[in-house]
Copies of this chain bind each other. A is one copy, B any other.
Amino acid sequence: MALEKLILSEIVKINVHEIPTGYKAFDWTVPMEWNIKDAFVENSSGERVIDFKNSNLHVIGYSVPFSGTISRDELLKHIITDPKNPDSIPYATSYYKEAWGFCLAHDDLYKLCDQKYNVSIDSSLSEGHLTYGEYLIPGLSSKEILISSNICHPSLANNEISGPIVSSFLAKHLLGVSGLKYSYRFVFVPETIGAIVFIHKNLCDLRKNVIAGYTVTCCGDRGPFSYLMSKHEHSLVNRITLHILRHTESDYKVYDFLERGSDERQYCSVGVDIGIGSLMRSKYARYKEYHNSSDNLSFISEDSMHGTLQKYIKCIEAIERNDCYISNNVCEPLLSKYSLYETTSTSVSGASSVDLINVLAFCDGEHDLLWIAERLQKPIWELYDAVDALKQNGLIRAAQ
């Protein structure tokens, strides 16, 4: 995580947690820490036909150390290729089964024409730590929005580093917003085990405080947006994100919760059950560059990441604004008293009196602004002026 920690900490100052090997988290245990110095396959001429130094994807993640001279047939049993993406090195790991091996572009198999190979994997598995980062932006309320991204796929761009990058810029953006209603907790965890450890250390608080959140991944490719639903259809994160997508994008894809695959698996699990969705570009496992060496920096673009960041900002703005309000009046107010009635085309507030009156009609303390926006068939942000005008003139108050 060294490089990522360095880069991200230029954006926001992340607190780093080190959890020792052997730590028990629910059904799981933090495993031995794996480190690797070098790995190669040398042919009989002494040439490195596979070299970890060229790409760290060449070694199956969590490979046990190995050294020896083996036959071509024996070597092939330890090599993974993906014939469907013949020019890319696949990404593979073997966390829960002791093994070693190499990953290779299928097209490069021809290089293995000798009968004997000198193989070396200079890795170590030893007591160590699982590392995760955490960053909190406190708001007026102890209620929290959780933003979780992963830091465990070395050298993969869209399905990995784009997530923590967009997360970090989102944090940076929110630091510049004054008077945030909610607190924002950013976590940067190795997928699955990292999320489980984080949940284990914070279960009560998460259950008590988190009202919505996202796992942020696959933010950088050039595809249209896609949204993976959180478990409960009518959760806040689902309602908000679908509303924003519906009113801003003509082409986007919604995936059922059954299609989940990242840490929303843990966040939405029965004992945790916080409403976490995932707003992405192309969904993991749905594009051919996924989990291979083609998911590299040329696959993602700054523009796409910026667009994704803006979409997250729009969603969070809507979450911040999404109060339930109560009218302070019986009957309609006399809008002209407050200069809120258009004598010509628009009122001084920027909101039309029709919107003001229609918003007011549903300020009954039971319907949130998002519900009202859906009822009025308008994007929620087109009602912000109306709400501000009504609040500033004492015509509504937030329900508690």
The chain A residues found within 8 Å of chain B, CB to CB, are: 25-28, 96-97, 192, 195-196, 199-200, 203, 231, 257-258, 265-266, 268-273, 326-327, 329-334, 336-337, 341, 343, 357-358, 360-364, 375-376
Rounded to whole Å, the gap between the CB of A368 and the closest CB of chain B is 15
**Contact indicator B27/A337 (Cβ below 8 Å):** yes
From B258, B329, B343, contact of A97 by CB (8 A): B343
**Contact indicator B269/A334 (Cβ below 8 Å):** no
Which chain B positions have C-beta within 8 A of A331?
A: 25-28, 195-196, 199-200, 266, 269, 271-272
**Contact indicator A327/B269 (Cβ below 8 Å):** yes
Which chain B positions have C-beta within 8 A of A326?
A: 270
Asked whether A330 and B272 contact (CB < 8 A) given A96-B336, A258-B376, A343-B97, the answer is: yes
Asked whether A333 and B27 contact (CB < 8 A) given A271-B327, A327-B270, A343-B97, the answer is: yes
- Determine the distance from Cα of A108 to Cα of B337 in the docked complex, in whole angstroms: 36
**Contact indicator A364/B327 (Cβ below 8 Å):** no
Rounded to whole Å, the gap between the CB of A32 and the closest CB of chain B is 15
**Contact indicator A273/B364 (Cβ below 8 Å):** yes
Asked whether A266 and B27 contact (CB < 8 A) given A258-B376, A364-B273, A376-B258, the answer is: no
- Determine the distance from Cα of A196 to Cα of B341 in the docked complex, in whole angstroms: 18
Which chain B positions have C-beta within 8 A of A375?
A: 258
**Contact indicator A27/B329 (Cβ below 8 Å):** yes
**Contact indicator B28/A334 (Cβ below 8 Å):** yes
Which chain B positions have C-beta within 8 A of A196?
A: 331-332
Rounded to whole Å, the gap between the CB of A195 and the closest CB of chain B is 8
Asked whether A26 and B330 contact (CB < 8 A) given A231-B361, A258-B376, A343-B97, the answer is: yes
Which chain B positions have C-beta within 8 A of A329?
A: 26-27, 269-271
Asked whether A269 and B336 contact (CB < 8 A) given A203-B330, A331-B26, A331-B27, the answer is: no
Which chain B positions have C-beta within 8 A of A333?
A: 26-27
Rounded to whole Å, the gap between the CB of A327 and the closest CB of chain B is 4
Rounded to whole Å, the gap between the CB of A386 and the closest CB of chain B is 14
Asked whether A332 and B269 contact (CB < 8 A) given A27-B337, A343-B97, A376-B258, the answer is: yes
Which chain B positions have C-beta within 8 A of A376?
A: 258
Asked whether A269 and B203 contact (CB < 8 A) given A231-B361, A336-B96, A343-B97, the answer is: no
From B258, B357, B362, contact of A265 by CB (8 A): B357
- Determine the distance from Cα of A271 to Cα of B334 in the docked complex, in whole angstroms: 15
Asked whether A361 and B269 contact (CB < 8 A) given A199-B330, A199-B331, A258-B376, the answer is: yes
Rounded to whole Å, the gap between the CB of A335 and the closest CB of chain B is 9
- Determine the distance from Cα of A327 to Cα of B271 in the docked complex, in whole angstroms: 8
Rounded to whole Å, the gap between the CB of A148 and the closest CB of chain B is 13
Rounded to whole Å, the gap between the CB of A338 and the closest CB of chain B is 9
Which chain B positions have C-beta within 8 A of A268?
A: 361
Rounded to whole Å, the gap between the CB of A358 and the closest CB of chain B is 6
> Could you name 14 residue pairs across A and B whose Cβ atoms are closer than 8 Å?
A25-B331, A26-B333, A27-B329, A27-B332, A97-B336, A266-B331, A268-B361, A269-B329, A269-B330, A269-B361, A270-B329, A270-B330, A270-B364, A273-B364
- Determine the distance from Cα of A272 to Cα of B329 in the docked complex, in whole angstroms: 10
Which chain B positions have C-beta within 8 A of A330?
A: 26, 199-200, 203, 269-272
Asked whether A27 and B199 contact (CB < 8 A) given A269-B327, A363-B270, A364-B273, the answer is: no
A334, A337, A363: which has the most chain B beta carbons within 10 Å?
A334
**Contact indicator B270/A360 (Cβ below 8 Å):** yes
Which chain B positions have C-beta within 8 A of A266?
A: 331-332
Which chain B positions have C-beta within 8 A of A203?
A: 330
Which chain B positions have C-beta within 8 A of A199?
A: 330-331
